[in-house]
Structure 1
Amino acid sequence: MALLLAPHTVTVVRAPEGFDAEGNSSTDWSSAERMTVQGQVEPAASSENRDNRDQVATNYLVRLPPRTDVAARDRLEWNGITLEVTGDPLPWSGLALLDHIQLTAVCIKG
């Protein structure tokens, strides 16, 4: 991806999968691996849930360099916030300078 289109520093966070004492699947975010890349993050939508508590979900559209190792279960750190990747990251290609991985991510507060 051309540097002009990748002004943001984004950290991909991947936690190992394991099992707790009862044998249930668990994710250990305290021992997660981190990989930093240049990308583009832009807000896409925000919504508020006030049924049982005040909760705001902000969705982001994220573009990362081609072949970035990022998966649906990963998190991203950007601009001091943690984002949960939602769905599969998808490769986009066409013009070599614009090739990238595109994904959506959400930050939920409250």
Structure 2
Amino acid sequence: MIGEELLPHLVEVEHPGAAADRYGNTVPDWAASTRVQVRGWLQQNSGAEDTDQRDAQIGEWLLICNPYTTAGAVLTVYGRDRVHWNGAAFEVIGPPGPAWEPSELHHYEIRLRTVEG
């Protein structure tokens, strides 16, 4: 596990609950979501604008975080989750990338996206 000096940010990973839509399909239910805290490092990798009939700001970010929550549980992250930090909400893009030491999970590298506008 990486120490606080290298992972200074406290972020929350939000997992949606599950609900059935009107056709009986299971869909994410953000009103019944749960959150866990984890230590991490966030950095913005790119930024762009979408000005085709809108004025959107798009950011691609990287989260490097411990594989354990601050409560000591194993962190699970899925492509449907969200990450919250410093008042911003990020979408997880695809599955997280686990990084291994020779025999154990060392940290996760998780790609994030934020879109405003």
Q: How well do the aligned residues superpose, as a CA RMSD in angstroms?
A: 1.9
Which runs of structure 2 are paired with 1:36-47 in the superposition (5 Å)?
36-47=37-48
Shift of 1:56: 1.1
1:8 aligns with 2:12: no
Structure 2: which 5+ runs fail to align? Answer: 68-73
Indicate the SS of the match to 2:83: strand
C-alpha distance in 1, partners of 2:114/2:11? 14
Aligned to 1:84: 91
CA contact (8 A) 1:68 1:101 kept: no
Aligned residues: 109
Structure with the higher helix share, 1 or 2: 1
Q: 1:100 aligns with which of 81, 102, 107?
A: 107
Structure 1: which 5+ runs fail to align? Answer: none
CA contact (8 A) 1:56 1:109 kept: yes
Aligned to 2:24: 23
Shift of 1:42: 0.8
Q: Give the TM-score of the pair, scaled to structure 1.
A: 0.89
C-alpha distance in 1, partners of 2:23/2:38? 37
Aligned to 2:71: none
Indicate the SS of the match to 2:35: strand
Give the share of equivalent positions with the same residue, in percent: 31
